Protein backbone atom coordinates (compact mmCIF):
# COMPACT_ATOMS: atom_id res chain seq x y z
CA UNK A 1 0.00 0.00 0.00
CA UNK A 2 1.30 3.42 -0.88
CA UNK A 3 2.25 5.64 2.00
CA UNK A 4 -0.14 8.49 2.90
CA UNK A 5 2.47 11.03 1.90
CA UNK A 6 2.39 9.64 -1.61
CA UNK A 7 -1.38 9.69 -1.81
CA UNK A 8 -2.22 13.07 -0.31
CA UNK A 9 -1.62 16.36 -2.11
CA UNK A 10 -2.55 19.93 -1.30
CA UNK A 11 -2.93 23.02 -3.43
CA UNK A 12 -1.54 25.76 -1.24
CA UNK A 13 -3.15 29.15 -1.75
CA UNK A 14 -1.81 32.56 -0.91
CA UNK A 15 -1.10 33.23 2.71
CA UNK A 16 -3.56 35.03 4.94
CA UNK A 17 -3.08 36.33 8.46
CA UNK A 18 -4.22 34.00 11.27
CA UNK A 19 -6.83 35.27 13.67
CA UNK A 20 -5.51 37.68 16.25
CA UNK A 21 -5.92 37.08 19.96
CA UNK A 22 -8.72 39.23 21.36
CA UNK A 23 -10.36 39.87 24.71
CA UNK A 24 -14.09 40.40 24.41
CA UNK A 25 -16.43 41.26 27.25
CA UNK A 26 -17.73 37.69 27.47
CA UNK A 27 -15.27 34.81 27.58
CA UNK A 28 -16.17 31.21 28.37
CA UNK A 29 -14.77 29.75 31.56
CA UNK A 30 -15.25 26.24 30.26
CA UNK A 31 -12.35 24.31 28.84
CA UNK A 32 -12.68 22.76 25.36
CA UNK A 33 -10.98 19.65 26.72
CA UNK A 34 -13.31 19.33 29.69
CA UNK A 35 -15.76 16.96 28.07
CA UNK A 36 -17.91 14.26 29.57
CA UNK A 37 -15.12 11.83 28.75
CA UNK A 38 -12.80 13.49 31.23
CA UNK A 39 -13.18 12.78 34.94
CA UNK A 40 -14.33 15.55 37.23
CA UNK A 41 -11.44 17.55 38.61
CA UNK A 42 -11.25 17.67 42.41
CA UNK A 43 -9.48 20.38 44.33
CA UNK A 44 -5.83 19.38 44.39
CA UNK A 45 -2.57 20.93 45.47
CA UNK A 46 0.52 21.36 43.31
CA UNK A 47 2.15 17.98 43.73
CA UNK A 48 3.82 15.50 41.45
CA UNK A 49 2.12 14.14 38.34
CA UNK A 50 2.36 10.43 38.95
CA UNK A 51 -0.68 8.44 37.96
CA UNK A 52 -3.26 7.46 40.55
CA UNK A 53 -6.28 5.22 40.84
CA UNK A 54 -8.47 8.12 39.74
CA UNK A 55 -6.68 8.44 36.40
CA UNK A 56 -6.64 5.25 34.37
CA UNK A 57 -6.13 6.78 30.93
CA UNK A 58 -9.38 5.25 29.70
CA UNK A 59 -10.69 8.60 28.46
CA UNK A 60 -8.29 8.42 25.52
CA UNK A 61 -10.33 5.54 24.14
CA UNK A 62 -13.57 7.54 24.25
CA UNK A 63 -12.89 10.64 22.15
CA UNK A 64 -15.73 9.93 19.70
CA UNK A 65 -18.91 8.25 21.00
CA UNK A 66 -19.78 7.10 17.47
CA UNK A 67 -16.40 5.56 16.68
CA UNK A 68 -16.33 1.82 15.92
CA UNK A 69 -15.85 -0.30 19.02
CA UNK A 70 -12.88 -2.02 17.45
CA UNK A 71 -10.56 -1.19 14.60
CA UNK A 72 -8.71 -4.44 13.83
CA UNK A 73 -5.09 -4.32 12.73
CA UNK A 74 -5.99 -6.37 9.66
CA UNK A 75 -7.29 -3.14 8.13
CA UNK A 76 -3.67 -2.33 7.35
CA UNK A 77 -3.86 1.26 8.56
CA UNK A 78 -0.30 2.15 9.45
CA UNK A 79 -0.14 5.57 11.10
CA UNK A 80 3.63 5.70 11.50
CA UNK A 81 3.59 8.93 9.47
CA UNK A 82 2.01 10.61 12.52
CA UNK A 83 4.70 9.35 14.88
CA UNK A 84 7.73 11.04 13.34
CA UNK A 85 9.79 13.27 15.62
CA UNK A 86 10.06 15.88 12.87
CA UNK A 87 6.32 16.64 13.12
CA UNK A 88 6.39 17.92 16.68
CA UNK A 89 7.91 21.29 17.47
CA UNK A 90 10.03 21.75 20.59
CA UNK A 91 8.09 23.68 23.21
CA UNK A 92 9.40 26.42 25.45
CA UNK A 93 8.21 28.22 28.58
CA UNK A 94 10.12 31.40 27.82
CA UNK A 95 6.81 33.24 27.23
CA UNK A 96 5.39 32.12 30.58
CA UNK A 97 5.99 34.24 33.72
CA UNK A 98 8.60 32.54 35.90
CA UNK A 99 6.26 31.94 38.90
CA UNK A 100 3.95 29.89 36.65
CA UNK A 101 6.61 27.72 35.06
CA UNK A 102 6.88 24.03 35.85
CA UNK A 103 9.23 21.38 34.52
CA UNK A 104 8.37 19.40 31.42
CA UNK A 105 7.77 15.77 32.32
CA UNK A 106 10.15 13.13 30.99
CA UNK A 107 8.49 9.98 29.70
CA UNK A 108 9.63 6.76 31.34
CA UNK A 109 9.73 4.15 28.53
CA UNK A 110 9.90 1.34 31.07
CA UNK A 111 6.38 2.10 32.34
CA UNK A 112 3.31 0.66 30.58
CA UNK A 113 1.31 2.85 28.22
CA UNK A 114 -1.63 2.96 30.64
CA UNK A 115 0.56 4.62 33.29
CA UNK A 116 1.72 7.30 30.85
CA UNK A 117 -1.86 7.94 29.74
CA UNK A 118 -2.98 8.35 33.35
CA UNK A 119 -0.25 10.95 33.90
CA UNK A 120 -1.37 12.80 30.77
CA UNK A 121 -4.99 12.61 31.90
CA UNK A 122 -4.08 14.18 35.23
CA UNK A 123 -2.24 17.02 33.46
CA UNK A 124 -5.38 17.75 31.44
CA UNK A 125 -7.65 17.67 34.46
CA UNK A 126 -5.37 20.10 36.30
CA UNK A 127 -5.21 22.47 33.34
CA UNK A 128 -1.48 22.14 32.56
CA UNK A 129 -2.00 22.28 28.82
CA UNK A 130 1.51 23.17 27.65
CA UNK A 131 3.02 20.40 29.78
CA UNK A 132 0.32 18.04 28.51
CA UNK A 133 1.06 18.96 24.88
CA UNK A 134 4.74 18.15 25.44
CA UNK A 135 3.95 14.86 27.17
CA UNK A 136 1.47 13.81 24.46
CA UNK A 137 4.17 14.39 21.85
CA UNK A 138 6.60 12.33 23.92
CA UNK A 139 4.17 9.40 24.01
CA UNK A 140 3.47 9.62 20.28
CA UNK A 141 7.18 9.43 19.44
CA UNK A 142 7.97 6.67 21.95
CA UNK A 143 8.19 2.92 21.60
CA UNK A 144 5.03 2.59 23.71
CA UNK A 145 2.83 3.28 20.68
CA UNK A 146 2.13 0.77 17.93
CA UNK A 147 1.70 2.35 14.47
CA UNK A 148 -1.56 0.40 14.09
CA UNK A 149 -3.06 1.50 17.43
CA UNK A 150 -5.42 3.86 15.62
CA UNK A 151 -7.65 5.02 18.45
CA UNK A 152 -4.83 5.91 20.83
CA UNK A 153 -2.80 7.68 18.15
CA UNK A 154 -5.71 9.86 17.01
CA UNK A 155 -6.70 10.63 20.60
CA UNK A 156 -3.17 11.65 21.52
CA UNK A 157 -2.77 13.69 18.33
CA UNK A 158 -6.03 15.52 19.09
CA UNK A 159 -4.84 16.16 22.66
CA UNK A 160 -1.55 17.55 21.37
CA UNK A 161 -3.22 19.96 18.93
CA UNK A 162 -5.95 21.06 21.34
CA UNK A 163 -3.48 21.69 24.17
CA UNK A 164 -1.23 23.72 21.89
CA UNK A 165 -4.19 25.89 20.93
CA UNK A 166 -5.36 26.27 24.52
CA UNK A 167 -1.88 27.32 25.64
CA UNK A 168 -1.65 30.03 22.97
CA UNK A 169 0.45 28.08 20.46
CA UNK A 170 -2.11 27.99 17.65
CA UNK A 171 0.50 28.57 14.94
CA UNK A 172 2.49 25.52 16.08
CA UNK A 173 -0.71 23.46 16.21
CA UNK A 174 -1.58 24.61 12.68
CA UNK A 175 1.81 23.48 11.38
CA UNK A 176 1.58 20.10 13.11
CA UNK A 177 -1.97 19.51 11.85
CA UNK A 178 -0.60 19.46 8.30
CA UNK A 179 0.84 16.01 9.06
CA UNK A 180 -2.70 14.62 8.80
CA UNK A 181 -2.71 15.76 5.16
CA UNK A 182 -5.99 15.21 3.29
CA UNK A 183 -8.57 13.85 5.74
CA UNK A 184 -10.91 13.16 2.81
CA UNK A 185 -8.41 10.71 1.34
CA UNK A 186 -9.55 7.13 0.81
CA UNK A 187 -6.83 6.12 3.29
CA UNK A 188 -8.97 7.38 6.17
CA UNK A 189 -12.08 5.41 5.24
CA UNK A 190 -13.05 1.79 5.91
CA UNK A 191 -15.95 -0.39 4.84
CA UNK A 192 -18.62 0.03 7.52
CA UNK A 193 -19.55 -3.64 7.20
CA UNK A 194 -16.51 -4.81 9.16
CA UNK A 195 -18.18 -4.18 12.51
CA UNK A 196 -21.79 -4.80 11.42
CA UNK A 197 -21.89 -8.09 9.50
CA UNK A 198 -25.56 -8.53 10.33
CA UNK A 199 -26.40 -5.67 7.97
CA UNK A 200 -25.35 -7.68 4.92
CA UNK A 201 -28.13 -7.71 2.37
CA UNK A 202 -30.21 -5.17 4.30
CA UNK A 203 -28.47 -1.87 3.71
CA UNK A 204 -25.86 -0.57 1.36
CA UNK A 205 -22.45 -0.41 2.97
CA UNK A 206 -21.05 3.11 3.15
CA UNK A 207 -17.43 4.07 3.88
CA UNK A 208 -16.77 5.01 7.47
CA UNK A 209 -14.19 7.53 8.62
CA UNK A 210 -11.64 6.27 11.13
CA UNK A 211 -10.63 9.71 12.45
CA UNK A 212 -12.60 10.87 15.53
CA UNK A 213 -15.03 13.68 14.80
CA UNK A 214 -13.48 16.20 17.27
CA UNK A 215 -10.10 15.83 15.57
CA UNK A 216 -11.62 16.28 12.12
CA UNK A 217 -13.40 19.47 13.18
CA UNK A 218 -10.30 20.86 14.88
CA UNK A 219 -8.09 20.00 11.91
CA UNK A 220 -10.31 21.95 9.51
CA UNK A 221 -9.51 25.28 11.15
CA UNK A 222 -5.90 24.50 12.01
CA UNK A 223 -5.06 23.30 8.51
CA UNK A 224 -6.63 26.42 7.00
CA UNK A 225 -4.20 28.44 9.12
CA UNK A 226 -1.28 26.11 8.44
CA UNK A 227 -1.76 26.22 4.67
CA UNK A 228 -2.54 29.95 4.69
CA UNK A 229 -5.93 29.52 3.01
CA UNK A 230 -8.97 30.76 4.95
CA UNK A 231 -11.32 29.41 2.28
CA UNK A 232 -10.10 25.93 3.10
CA UNK A 233 -11.85 26.18 6.48
CA UNK A 234 -15.21 26.99 4.87
CA UNK A 235 -14.90 24.14 2.38
CA UNK A 236 -13.89 21.66 5.07
CA UNK A 237 -16.81 22.59 7.30
CA UNK A 238 -19.26 22.24 4.39
CA UNK A 239 -17.89 18.77 3.61
CA UNK A 240 -18.35 17.72 7.21
CA UNK A 241 -21.85 19.20 7.13
CA UNK A 242 -22.81 17.16 4.06
CA UNK A 243 -21.59 14.01 5.79
CA UNK A 244 -23.61 14.84 8.91
CA UNK A 245 -26.73 15.40 6.79
CA UNK A 246 -26.29 12.02 5.12
CA UNK A 247 -25.97 10.34 8.52
CA UNK A 248 -29.14 12.04 9.78
CA UNK A 249 -31.13 11.01 6.71
CA UNK A 250 -30.09 7.34 6.68
CA UNK A 251 -33.17 5.27 7.58
CA UNK A 252 -31.20 2.71 9.62
CA UNK A 253 -29.80 5.39 11.96
CA UNK A 254 -31.25 5.02 15.46
CA UNK A 255 -32.73 8.00 17.33
CA UNK A 256 -29.82 8.46 19.73
CA UNK A 257 -27.26 8.48 16.94
CA UNK A 258 -29.43 10.78 14.81
CA UNK A 259 -29.60 13.23 17.70
CA UNK A 260 -25.79 13.33 17.94
CA UNK A 261 -25.46 13.99 14.21
CA UNK A 262 -28.06 16.76 14.38
CA UNK A 263 -26.15 18.41 17.21
CA UNK A 264 -22.97 18.14 15.19
CA UNK A 265 -24.69 19.66 12.17
CA UNK A 266 -25.91 22.62 14.23
CA UNK A 267 -22.43 23.10 15.69
CA UNK A 268 -20.91 23.09 12.19
CA UNK A 269 -23.32 25.84 11.14
CA UNK A 270 -22.13 28.08 13.97
CA UNK A 271 -18.49 27.28 13.18
CA UNK A 272 -19.03 28.18 9.53
CA UNK A 273 -20.43 31.58 10.49
CA UNK A 274 -17.49 32.13 12.83
CA UNK A 275 -15.06 31.23 10.04
CA UNK A 276 -16.73 33.80 7.77
CA UNK A 277 -16.40 36.43 10.48
CA UNK A 278 -12.70 35.59 10.82
CA UNK A 279 -12.37 36.06 7.05
CA UNK A 280 -13.98 39.49 7.37
CA UNK A 281 -16.98 38.59 5.19
CA UNK A 282 -19.64 39.91 7.58
CA UNK A 283 -22.41 40.02 4.96
CA UNK A 284 -22.01 36.32 4.17
CA UNK A 285 -21.74 35.57 7.90
CA UNK A 286 -25.02 37.37 8.58
CA UNK A 287 -26.83 35.58 5.74
CA UNK A 288 -25.52 32.23 6.90
CA UNK A 289 -26.47 32.89 10.50
CA UNK A 290 -30.01 33.93 9.54
CA UNK A 291 -30.44 30.80 7.43
CA UNK A 292 -29.47 28.38 10.21
CA UNK A 293 -32.43 26.22 11.13
CA UNK A 294 -32.83 23.25 13.45
CA UNK A 295 -35.40 20.50 13.08
CA UNK A 296 -36.37 20.79 16.74
CA UNK A 297 -36.38 23.54 19.35
CA UNK A 298 -33.04 25.28 19.77
CA UNK A 299 -31.14 24.88 23.01
CA UNK A 300 -30.38 27.95 25.09
CA UNK A 301 -26.65 27.43 24.50
CA UNK A 302 -27.16 27.44 20.73
CA UNK A 303 -29.28 30.59 20.99
CA UNK A 304 -26.56 32.27 23.04
CA UNK A 305 -23.92 31.33 20.46
CA UNK A 306 -26.09 32.83 17.73
CA UNK A 307 -26.72 35.96 19.75
CA UNK A 308 -23.01 36.46 20.40
CA UNK A 309 -22.21 36.04 16.72
CA UNK A 310 -24.85 38.62 15.77
CA UNK A 311 -23.27 41.00 18.27
CA UNK A 312 -19.86 40.31 16.80
CA UNK A 313 -21.20 41.03 13.32
CA UNK A 314 -22.77 44.24 14.64
CA UNK A 315 -26.45 43.40 14.14
CA UNK A 316 -27.86 44.26 17.56
CA UNK A 317 -31.51 43.96 16.50
CA UNK A 318 -30.95 40.43 15.19
CA UNK A 319 -29.18 39.48 18.41
CA UNK A 320 -32.18 40.67 20.42
CA UNK A 321 -34.56 38.66 18.24
CA UNK A 322 -32.68 35.41 18.87
CA UNK A 323 -34.34 34.86 22.22
CA UNK A 324 -37.56 36.67 21.36
CA UNK A 325 -39.73 36.89 24.45
CA UNK A 326 -37.90 34.12 26.28
CA UNK A 327 -35.59 35.54 28.94
CA UNK A 328 -36.05 32.96 31.67
CA UNK A 329 -32.95 30.84 31.10
CA UNK A 330 -29.54 31.62 32.55
CA UNK A 331 -28.09 31.93 29.05
CA UNK A 332 -30.79 34.36 27.90
CA UNK A 333 -30.19 36.53 30.96
CA UNK A 334 -26.63 37.19 29.77
CA UNK A 335 -27.80 38.67 26.50
CA UNK A 336 -29.53 41.80 27.82
CA UNK A 337 -26.49 43.39 29.52
CA UNK A 338 -24.42 42.48 26.47
CA UNK A 339 -26.94 44.29 24.28
CA UNK A 340 -26.66 47.33 26.54
CA UNK A 341 -22.88 47.24 26.23
CA UNK A 342 -23.14 46.96 22.45
CA UNK A 343 -25.35 50.06 22.42
CA UNK A 344 -22.84 51.94 24.57
CA UNK A 345 -25.26 52.10 27.51
CA UNK A 346 -22.68 51.08 30.12
CA UNK A 347 -24.63 52.57 33.02
CA UNK A 348 -27.61 50.34 32.22
CA UNK A 349 -25.26 47.39 31.75
CA UNK A 350 -23.80 47.98 35.24
CA UNK A 351 -27.28 47.71 36.74
CA UNK A 352 -28.06 44.57 34.74
CA UNK A 353 -24.78 42.85 35.59
CA UNK A 354 -25.29 43.70 39.29
CA UNK A 355 -28.71 42.10 39.12
CA UNK A 356 -27.20 38.89 37.74
CA UNK A 357 -24.43 39.05 40.31
CA UNK A 358 -27.05 38.90 43.04
CA UNK A 359 -28.43 35.60 41.76
CA UNK A 360 -26.92 32.99 44.07
CA UNK A 361 -28.09 30.12 41.87
CA UNK A 362 -25.71 31.04 39.05
CA UNK A 363 -22.35 29.30 38.64
CA UNK A 364 -20.76 31.91 36.38
CA UNK A 365 -20.14 34.56 39.02
CA UNK A 366 -16.57 35.18 37.90
CA UNK A 367 -17.68 35.79 34.35
CA UNK A 368 -20.39 38.21 35.44
CA UNK A 369 -18.01 40.06 37.76
CA UNK A 370 -15.50 40.50 34.96
CA UNK A 371 -18.10 42.00 32.62
CA UNK A 372 -19.35 44.24 35.41
CA UNK A 373 -15.79 45.46 35.98
CA UNK A 374 -15.42 46.29 32.28
CA UNK A 375 -18.60 48.38 32.43
CA UNK A 376 -17.41 50.11 35.61
CA UNK A 377 -14.18 50.94 33.80
CA UNK A 378 -16.10 52.54 30.92
CA UNK A 379 -18.20 54.59 33.35
CA UNK A 380 -15.06 55.99 35.00
CA UNK A 381 -15.17 53.92 38.20
CA UNK A 382 -11.62 52.67 37.88
CA UNK A 383 -10.96 51.91 41.54
CA UNK A 384 -14.19 49.96 41.94
CA UNK A 385 -13.40 47.95 38.81
CA UNK A 386 -9.94 47.15 40.18
CA UNK A 387 -11.29 46.07 43.56
CA UNK A 388 -13.88 43.86 41.92
CA UNK A 389 -11.36 42.06 39.70
CA UNK A 390 -8.88 41.66 42.55
CA UNK A 391 -11.65 40.11 44.66
CA UNK A 392 -12.20 37.57 41.90
CA UNK A 393 -8.50 36.72 41.88
CA UNK A 394 -8.71 36.22 45.66
CA UNK A 395 -11.64 33.87 45.04
CA UNK A 396 -9.46 31.84 42.62
CA UNK A 397 -11.38 32.96 39.51
CA UNK A 398 -8.22 33.66 37.53
CA UNK A 399 -9.23 32.97 33.93
CA UNK A 400 -7.51 34.56 30.96
CA UNK A 401 -9.65 37.55 30.08
CA UNK A 402 -10.02 38.57 33.75
CA UNK A 403 -6.24 38.57 34.15
CA UNK A 404 -5.86 40.58 30.95
CA UNK A 405 -8.42 43.19 32.02
CA UNK A 406 -6.95 43.53 35.51
CA UNK A 407 -3.51 44.01 33.97
CA UNK A 408 -4.99 46.75 31.77
CA UNK A 409 -6.42 48.50 34.85
CA UNK A 410 -3.01 48.31 36.55
CA UNK A 411 -1.54 50.12 33.55
CA UNK A 412 -4.22 52.82 33.80
CA UNK A 413 -4.01 53.47 37.52
CA UNK A 414 -0.36 53.03 38.48
CA UNK A 415 3.15 53.89 37.33
CA UNK A 416 4.32 50.64 38.88
CA UNK A 417 2.11 48.44 36.69
CA UNK A 418 4.97 46.07 35.88
CA UNK A 419 5.52 45.25 39.54
CA UNK A 420 1.77 44.85 40.14
CA UNK A 421 1.47 42.46 37.20
CA UNK A 422 4.46 40.44 38.42
CA UNK A 423 2.84 40.19 41.85
CA UNK A 424 -0.39 39.09 40.16
CA UNK A 425 1.47 36.27 38.42
CA UNK A 426 2.93 35.18 41.75
CA UNK A 427 -0.50 35.23 43.41
CA UNK A 428 -2.01 33.06 40.67
CA UNK A 429 0.92 30.64 40.85
CA UNK A 430 0.15 30.01 44.53
CA UNK A 431 -3.54 29.34 44.01
CA UNK A 432 -4.86 25.78 44.45
CA UNK A 433 -5.31 23.78 41.27
CA UNK A 434 -8.99 23.66 40.33
CA UNK A 435 -8.80 22.29 36.79
CA UNK A 436 -11.05 25.05 35.49
CA UNK A 437 -8.40 27.22 33.83
CA UNK A 438 -5.13 26.98 31.95
CA UNK A 439 -2.22 27.07 34.40
CA UNK A 440 0.45 27.60 31.73
CA UNK A 441 -0.41 31.24 31.12
CA UNK A 442 1.70 33.32 28.78
CA UNK A 443 3.10 36.80 29.30
CA UNK A 444 0.41 38.06 26.92
CA UNK A 445 -2.31 37.38 29.48
CA UNK A 446 -0.49 39.62 31.96
CA UNK A 447 0.53 42.17 29.29
CA UNK A 448 4.17 41.64 30.32
In a domain, 272, yes or no: no
* CATH code, domain carrying 442: 1.25.40
Query: Residues with Cβ < 8 Å from 271, sequence gap 6 or more?
Result: 217, 221, 237
Q: Is the pLDDT of residue 5 over 80?
A: no
Q: Is the pLDDT of residue 352 over 60?
A: yes
Residue-wise pLDDT for 14-56, tens only, equals 333 333 343 544 444 444 444 333 333 333 333 344 444 466 6
Cα 391 to chain centroid distance, Å, stands at: 27
Residue-wise pLDDT for 66-95, tens only, equals 776 655 554 668 899 999 999 999 999 999
In a domain, 125, yes or no: yes
Partners of 209 in the beta sheet? 189
Please check whether residue 339 is in contact with residue 315, taking contact to mean a CB–CB distance below 8 angstroms.
no
pLDDT score at 64? 80
In a domain, 2, yes or no: no
In a domain, 375, yes or no: yes
Residue in 394, 330, 395 with CA at minimum distance from that of residue 359 = 330
Domain-ending residue, one of 151, 168, 185: 168
Residue in 239, 222, 322, 319 with CA at minimum distance from that of residue 278 = 222
Domain-ending residue, one of 168, 199, 224: 168
Residue range of the domain that includes 357: 345-448
In a domain, 279, yes or no: no
In a domain, 118, yes or no: yes
In a domain, 36, yes or no: yes
In a domain, 445, yes or no: yes
Domain-ending residue, one of 149, 168, 187: 168
Phi, psi of 218 (to 5 degrees): -65, -40
Q: Where are the beta strands (DSSP E) in 144-297?
A: 189-191, 207-209
Q: Where are the beta strands (DSSP E) in 81-206?
A: 189-191
- How many distinct structural domains can be found in the chain? 2
Amino acid sequence: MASPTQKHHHNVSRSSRPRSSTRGPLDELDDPLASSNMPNSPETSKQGFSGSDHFSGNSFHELDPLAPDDLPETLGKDLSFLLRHSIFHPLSQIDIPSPLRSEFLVLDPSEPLSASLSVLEKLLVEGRFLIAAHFAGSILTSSLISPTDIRIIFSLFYTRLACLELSGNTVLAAQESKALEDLNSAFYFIDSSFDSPETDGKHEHTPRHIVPWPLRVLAVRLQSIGFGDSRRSIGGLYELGMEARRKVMRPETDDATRKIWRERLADLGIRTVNALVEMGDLDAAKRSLESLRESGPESDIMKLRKGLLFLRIGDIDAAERVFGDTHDSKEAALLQPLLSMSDGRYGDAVTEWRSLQGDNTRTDGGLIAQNLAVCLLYTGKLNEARELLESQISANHSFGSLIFNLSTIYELCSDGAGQLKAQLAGTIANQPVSGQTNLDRSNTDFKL
